Amino acid sequence: MSHSVALSRSRPLVLADLIPGALARDVALVAGGAGLVGALAQVAVHVPGTPVPITGQTLGVLLIGTAYGARRAAATIALYAVAGVLGVPWFAGHHSGYAGASFGYVVGFFAAATLCGFLAERGADRSVLRSIPSMLAGEVLIYGIGMAWLAVAAHLTLSQTVAQGLTPFLLGDAVKAALAAGLLPAAWALAGRRSA
């Protein structure tokens, strides 16, 4: 057995590892995942009083992070962010570029997906009770980075930042985190794997 194979088997699998064909699988997952996040960005509701829309992206980011593992998740969100900055109109509202007040949330997506992937590689996606803290940690990163960017870009005070960058999204993101936390263990069960 080669050293690389031994290393890959020494860590718990993530859902993406169940698909055969290493390189082709990873390329397809990264490209497809970036497209999924871009599509979910178009499911957008603009909230009065904030430049940040409610989107489906958070759900996609949490699912990709935990299903793909850290490396693939980081590559997926990096592709999404870089392509969007270079002109692919798949940020919320068919926008591209990084000058908007909400781009910090895209940066937060990268950190969140990577963290969720890291935690999934350690078994945090195998049960609802273990998935919930992972999802919440990912959302804390999204909000922390997104709100910091928003505050600087829009010249907001702390209370304005909370009112425009956090409060309108808490309920929806709690639902998305709960949905993601439930879907992953269910996917493992469907794949015939036992929850760890």
pLDDT over threshold 80, residue 3: no
Report which of 61, 157, 136 is spatially closest to residue 106, judged by C-alpha positions: 61
Spans of all domains in the chain:
3-190
Q: Which residue has the higher pLDDT, 126 or 111?
A: 111
**pLDDT band at 39, cuts 50/70/90?**
very high
Supply the pTM of this predicted model: 0.83
Helix, strand or coil, per DSSP, at residue 91: strand
DSSP character at residue 44: E
pLDDT digits (tens, 9 = 90+) for 156-176: 999 999 999 999 999 989 998
**pLDDT band at 5, cuts 50/70/90?**
very low
From residue 79, give the alpha-carbon distance in Å to each of 27, 41, 68, 87. Answer: 11, 15, 14, 12
Per-residue pLDDT, 1: 38
Average pLDDT over residues 139-163: 95
| CATH 2.60.260.20, domain 3-190, yes or no | no
**pLDDT band at 4, cuts 50/70/90?**
very low
Beta strands (DSSP E) in 54-196 are 54-55
| Spatial separation of the C-alpha atoms in residues 59 and 76, rounded to whole Å | 14
